[in-house]
């Protein structure tokens, strides 16, 4: 039996979701507008859906799991489990007003009409801030509402901000931040659960590989103890003698951000010929 995964049919999330599955070693045949397809080397069936519908399909068990934005998960309030935050397709959910509007704080929204496709998230926020505003729910093209006079402001997702700019709007409040999540039906069968765990294991290996780097450097032998102390490896670094007397080559794996914090100290200790190499998969 296959694991059924729902991913976005088209849009940013689609590209990032397909890229993640590919990095996890799953081959997805080029589908020519097909909304259902099967991976060729993993028991996975892909359902291409509108992101807005994914929480419901997963809650109903039509898909076992899904990759969807946190924005949709929060809005749809379906009985689904978040199994992993994926860290991509990041965006903000923000309030925006016409750019020439005087704005001095949330009180602006009292008595105003706000257009959005996220009425639940907006309602929670307005209640928490004790703002009484009218929520005008629309399915899409929210950004044109102020221009056509159907609302005073909007609440929508913002990524680069270019949609706001091209519609003469200004982001004034970030209500929350969102990223892609892997979600699952809470009542998966044993086989489905097993396949999900296998998939998560691969996703974890991809994530570790992306945040770690393989480092090679040359160091004078007398400084090796200090250099090794600064470079904790997966277990401990590999040290190989160089042909040049008194020098060694040190190989290790470190989180990339930590590495950049230590680069100056490493150079001061005499490290030379430093190579930072990407890792494809990492399993500890």
Residues in the site for ligand PRP, rule: CB under 6 A?
11, 51, 140, 143, 156-163
Q: Which does 160 bind (CB under 5 to 8 A by kind): Zn ion, ligand PRP, none?
A: ligand PRP
Nearer Cβ to ligand PRP, position 183 or 205? Answer: 183
Task: State how far the Cα of 74 lies from the Cα of 120, in Å rounded to an integer.
Answer: 8
Least Å distance between CB 171 and ligand PRP?
9
Enumerate helices (H) and strands (E) in the chain, giving the number of each: 9, 15
73 is in the binding site of which of Zn ion, ligand PRP, none (Cβ under 5 to 8 A by kind)? none
Please tell me whether residue 81 adopts helix, strand or coil conformation: strand
- Both tokens assigned to 76: 């749809």
Shorter beta-carbon distance to ligand PRP: residue 71 or 192: 71
CB of 256 to Zn ion, least distance (A): 33
Whole-number minimum distance, CB 162 to ligand PRP, in Å?
A: 4
Is the Cβ of residue 159 or residue 221 nearer to ligand PRP in the bound state?
159
Question: Cα separation of 260 and 65, whole Å?
Answer: 37
Helix 190-211 × helix 12-23 angle, to 10°: 90
Question: Toward ligand PRP, which CB reaches closer, 175 or 231?
Answer: 175
Quote helix, strand, coil % in the chain, to nearest 5. Answer: 35, 30, 35
Residue 161 binds which entry of ligand PRP, Zn ion, none, with Cβ cut-offs from 5 to 8 Å by kind? ligand PRP
Residue nearer to Zn ion on the CB measure, 52 or 64 = 52
Q: How far, in Å, CA of 44 to CA of 226, rounded?
A: 48
Torsion sign, CA atoms 100, 102, 106, 109: negative
- Nearest approach in angstroms of CB 136 to Zn ion is 18
Nearest distance, CB of residue 80 and Zn ion, angstroms: 17
């Amino acid at each position: 039996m296959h694991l059924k995964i729902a991913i976005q049919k088209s849009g940013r999330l689609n590209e990032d979701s397909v890229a993640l599955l590919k990095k996890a070693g799953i081959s997805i045949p080029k589908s020519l507008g097909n909304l259902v397809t099967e991976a060729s080397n993993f028991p996975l069936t892909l359902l291409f859906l509108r992101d807005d519908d994914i929480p419901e399909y997963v809650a109903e068990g039509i898909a076992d799991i899904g990759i969807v934005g946190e924005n949709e998960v929060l809005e749809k309030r379906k009985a689904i489990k978040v199994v992993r935050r994926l860290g991509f397709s990041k965006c903000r959910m923000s309030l925006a007003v016409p750019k020439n509007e005087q704005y001095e704080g949330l009180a602006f929204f009292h008595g105003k009409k706000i257009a959005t496709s996220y009425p639940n998230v907006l309602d929670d926020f307005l209640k928490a801030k004790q703002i009484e505003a009218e929520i005008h729910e629309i399915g899409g093209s929210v950004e044109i509402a102020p221009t056509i006079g159907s609302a005073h402001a909007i609440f929508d997702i913002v990524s680069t901000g270019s949609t706001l700019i091209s519609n003469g709007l200004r982001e004034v409040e970030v209500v929350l931040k969102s990223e892609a999540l892997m979600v699952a039906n809470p009542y998966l069968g044993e086989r489905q659960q097993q396949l999900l765990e296998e998939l998560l294991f691969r996703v974890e290996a991809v994530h570790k590989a992306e945040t770690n780097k393989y480092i090679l450097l040359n160091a004078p032998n007398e400084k090796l103890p200090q250099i090794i102390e600064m470079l904790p490896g997966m277990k401990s670094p590999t040290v190989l003698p160089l042909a040049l007397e008194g020098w060694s080559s040190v190989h290790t794996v470190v989180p990339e951000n930590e590495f950049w914090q230590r680069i100056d100290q490493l150079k001061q200790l005499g490290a030379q010929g430093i190579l930072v190499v990407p890792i494809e998969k990492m399993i500890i």
